[in-house]
Amino acid sequence: MKATQMFGAFVAATTLFSAEVLASEVLPSSGDAFTAYSEVENWTIYSDATTGTCLAERADGEGNVLQMGLTKDHGYGYIGVFTTADVKIKSKQDVSIAIDGSVFTGESHGIKSKKLVGDYKGGYILANNPDFIKAIEEGHELVAFPQKTGAFVVDLSGTKRAIEETRKCNMETSG
């Protein structure tokens, strides 16, 4: 599968568990004060002094960016995926994601990144479902759109350590 198809399918899966939170409340603002906190495996952990939160970020070999963090009110976790590829992103749609065989459903919201340099677009998966968060943390692979053609696999290597380090950063940043 082409990287653009893979990314397009994942981007469509961007706001699980239908939290009534606007994308602008989830996204780091372009004016936020980010500082590199640490590096864990292939992840860089950033502290955002403006919001008092942290996020973990890594880029894959295709130049796509994956982010994980907390919303400003710490009420939801999120996973964000962004690309510069020419993909069409719907502002809202229902989605399914499977992590090691467990299927999670919700609603997606497409957005344009305010933090990343360049013309990145994508979206966030919001979650306050502890089962989803545990699945991301302990899972080996994520399959976007498991019941549709165009499904693809995302390697979750290193997410457990990245989440642990992001939690540590959040404790230090907000405490």
Place of tokens 């919700």: 106
DSSP label of 55: E
Q: What residues pair up with 124 in beta bridges, in sequence order?
A: 80
Task: Tell me the whole-structure pTM to 2 decimals.
Answer: 0.75
Please report, for the chain, the start and end positions of each structural domain, with discontinuous segments joined by +: 3-174
Domain 3-174 is in which class?
mainly beta
Taking 70 as the threshold, does the pLDDT of residue 141 lie above it?
yes
Residue in 127, 148, 14, 134 with CA at minimum distance from that of residue 78: 127
Query: 77-129, pLDDT tens digit by residue?
Result: 887 777 776 666 677 767 677 889 888 877 776 766 556 666 777 767 777 88
- CB-CB contact of 162 with 40 (8 Å): yes
Count of positions (residues) in the chain: 175
Cα separation, 112 vs 5, whole angstroms: 18
H/E stretch holding 144 reads strand 141-144
